[in-house]
A and B are shown apart, each in its own frame.
Chain A
Amino acid sequence: MSTETDTRNPLVRDGAESTGLVAAGAVALAALLFALSLAALFQQLSLTDTLAGVPVSTFLGGALVVLGGAVVVFGVGSRLGYVETEPQASAGMVAGIAFGFVWFVAGGLVASQTIGVGTIGWLLSAIFVGGGVFAVSVVTREDIGSTLPAGVLTAFVGLVFVTGVIGPSWVWNLGWEQQASFTAGFTIPTLTLFSSLLSGWAAAKAYGGFGARGRHTGAYTLVYLNAVSIVGVLFILLAFTVYKGIGGVLNGFAVGAGVGPTSTVVLFGIAFSFDWPVYLPFVMNGVGLMNEFNGVLPAIVGTIWLVVGAVLFAVPLGVGAAIFLTEYAERGRFTQAVEVATNGLWSTPSIVFGLFGFAFLIPRFGNGKSLLAGMLTLGFMLLPLVVITSREAMLSVPDEYRDASAALGVTKWQTIRSVVLPAALPGVVTGIILGVGRIAGETAPILLTMAGGVFVPGSQTPDIVGGFAFTSSPPFVENPVLLDAASALPYQLYALITAGVGASGNVANPDEFKWATALVLLVVVLSFYAIGIAARYYFRRELNQ
Chain B
Amino acid sequence: MSETTQRTTDMETENRTDTQTDPETTTGETEEQVQDEWRNYEFAGEPKLAVDDLDVYYGDDHALKGVSMDIPKNSVTALIGPSGCGKSTFLRCLNRMNDRVKSARIDGSVKLDGQEIYQEGVNLVELRKRVGMVFQSPNPFPKSIAENISYGPRKHGDIETGLLARLLGRANEDERDELVERCLRDAALWDEVSDRLDDNALGLSGGQQQRLCIARCLSVDPEVILMDEPASALDPIATAKIEDLIDDLSEHYTVVIVTHNMQQAARISDQTAVFLTGGELVEYDDTDKIFENPQSQRVEEYISGKFG
**Chain A contacts of B137 at CB under 8 A?**
400
**Chain B contacts of A410 at CB under 8 A?**
125, 151-152, 155-156
Q: Across the interface, do A404 and B220 meet the contact criterion of CB distance under 8 Å?
A: no
Q: Residue B135 at the A interface, CB < 8 A?
A: yes
Q: Chain B, interface size: which category?
A: 20 to 34
- Closest CB in chain B relative to A217 CB, distance in Å: 37
Among B152, B217, B219, the one with the most A-chain Cβ atoms within 10 Å of its Cβ is B152
Q: Across the interface, do A407 and B95 meet the contact criterion of CB distance under 8 Å?
A: yes
Per a CB cutoff under 8 Å, which of B95, B97, B152, B202 touches A544? Answer: B202
- Give Cα A403 to B136, complex, Å: 12
- Closest CB in chain B relative to A402 CB, distance in Å: 8
Which residues 410-441 in A have Cβ within 8 Å of B in the complex?
Answer: 410-411, 414, 418-419, 422-423
Q: Across the interface, do B135 and A400 meet the contact criterion of CB distance under 8 Å?
A: yes
Q: Residue B199 at the A interface, CB < 8 A?
A: yes
Q: Across the interface, do B141 and A404 meet the contact criterion of CB distance under 8 Å?
A: yes
Are A404 and B135 CB-contacts (below 8 A) given A409-B129, A414-B155? yes
- Closest CB in chain B relative to A423 CB, distance in Å: 6
Q: Across the interface, do B128 and A418 meet the contact criterion of CB distance under 8 Å?
A: no
Q: Across the interface, do A409 and B125 meet the contact criterion of CB distance under 8 Å?
A: yes
Q: Across the interface, do B133 and A407 meet the contact criterion of CB distance under 8 Å?
A: yes
Q: Across the interface, do A411 and B125 meet the contact criterion of CB distance under 8 Å?
A: yes
- Closest CB in chain A relative to B128 CB, distance in Å: 4
Are A544 and B135 CB-contacts (below 8 A) given A408-B152, A409-B156? no
**Chain B contacts of A400 at CB under 8 A?**
135, 137, 139
Q: Residue A243 at the B interface, CB < 8 A?
A: no
Per a CB cutoff under 8 Å, which of B139, B151, B155, B202 touches A403? Answer: B139
- Give Cα A418 to B150, complex, Å: 12
Q: Across the interface, do A407 and B200 meet the contact criterion of CB distance under 8 Å?
A: no
Q: Residue A468 at the B interface, CB < 8 A?
A: no
The main secondary structure of chain B at its interface with chain A is helix
Q: Residue B132 at the A interface, CB < 8 A?
A: yes
Q: Residue A18 at the B interface, CB < 8 A?
A: no
Q: Residue B142 at the A interface, CB < 8 A?
A: yes
**Chain B contacts of A403 at CB under 8 A?**
97, 100, 135, 139
- Closest CB in chain B relative to A364 CB, distance in Å: 38
**Chain A contacts of B214 at CB under 8 A?**
none
Q: Residue B69 at the A interface, CB < 8 A?
A: no
* A131-146 vs B, Cβ < 8 Å mask (1 yes, 0 no): 0000000000000000
- Give Cα A72 to B141, complex, Å: 59
Q: What total of A-B pairs shows CB separation below 8 Å?
A: 73
Q: Across the interface, do A544 and B142 meet the contact criterion of CB distance under 8 Å?
A: yes
- Give Cα A5 to B47, complex, Å: 77
Q: Across the interface, do A408 and B139 meet the contact criterion of CB distance under 8 Å?
A: no
Interface residue total, chain A, C-beta cutoff 8 A? 21
Q: Residue A503 at the B interface, CB < 8 A?
A: no
**Chain A contacts of B143 at CB under 8 A?**
422
- Give Cα A404 to B148, complex, Å: 10
Q: Residue B61 at the A interface, CB < 8 A?
A: no
Q: Residue A119 at the B interface, CB < 8 A?
A: no
Q: Across the interface, do B199 and A545 meet the contact criterion of CB distance under 8 Å?
A: yes
- Give Cα A419 to B142, complex, Å: 8
Q: Residue A543 at the B interface, CB < 8 A?
A: yes
- Give Cα A545 to B200, complex, Å: 6
**Chain B contacts of A324 at CB under 8 A?**
none
**Chain A contacts of B141 at CB under 8 A?**
401, 404-405, 419
- Give Cα A544 to B141, complex, Å: 10
- Give Cα A423 to B202, complex, Å: 13
Q: Residue B126 at the A interface, CB < 8 A?
A: yes
Per a CB cutoff under 8 Å, which of B100, B140, B220 touches A409? Answer: B220
Q: Which residue of B lies closest to A541 (CB)?
A: B200
- Give Cα A402 to B135, complex, Å: 12
Q: Residue A406 at the B interface, CB < 8 A?
A: yes
Q: Across the interface, do A406 and B142 meet the contact criterion of CB distance under 8 Å?
A: no
- Closest CB in chain B relative to A113 CB, distance in Å: 64
Q: Which residue of B lies closest to A401 (CB)?
A: B141
Q: Which residue of A lies closest to B95 (CB)?
A: A407
Among B124, B127, B142, B202, the one with the most A-chain Cβ atoms within 10 Å of its Cβ is B142
Q: Across the interface, do B213 and A418 meet the contact criterion of CB distance under 8 Å?
A: no
- Closest CB in chain A relative to B110 CB, distance in Å: 16
* B181-225 vs A, Cβ < 8 Å mask (1 yes, 0 no): 000000000000000000110110000000001001101100000
- Give Cα A418 to B213, complex, Å: 17
Q: Which residue of A lies closest to B124 (CB)?
A: A406
Among A406, A411, A422, the one with the most B-chain Cβ atoms within 10 Å of its Cβ is A406
- Give Cα A410 to B216, complex, Å: 13
- Closest CB in chain B relative to A460 CB, distance in Å: 40
- Give Cα A67 to B129, complex, Å: 74
Q: Which residue of B lies closest to A417 (CB)?
A: B155
* A425-462 vs B, Cβ < 8 Å mask (1 yes, 0 no): 00000000000000000000000000000000000000
**Chain A contacts of B135 at CB under 8 A?**
400, 403-404, 407
- Give Cα A407 to B227, complex, Å: 12
- Give Cα A407 to B140, complex, Å: 12
**Chain B contacts of A422 at CB under 8 A?**
142-143
A-B contact pairs, 6 of them (CB 8 A): A407-B132, A409-B125, A409-B129, A409-B220, A419-B141, A544-B142
The 8 closest A-B pairs by CB, nearest first: A409-B129, A400-B139, A408-B152, A409-B128, A407-B133, A410-B155, A404-B139, A414-B155
Beyond the given A407-B97, A407-B133, please list 18 additional residue pairs across the A-B interface where CB-CB is below 8 A.
Answer: A398-B139, A400-B137, A401-B141, A401-B142, A403-B139, A404-B141, A405-B151, A406-B100, A407-B135, A407-B217, A408-B129, A408-B155, A409-B126, A409-B152, A410-B155, A543-B142, A544-B202, A545-B200
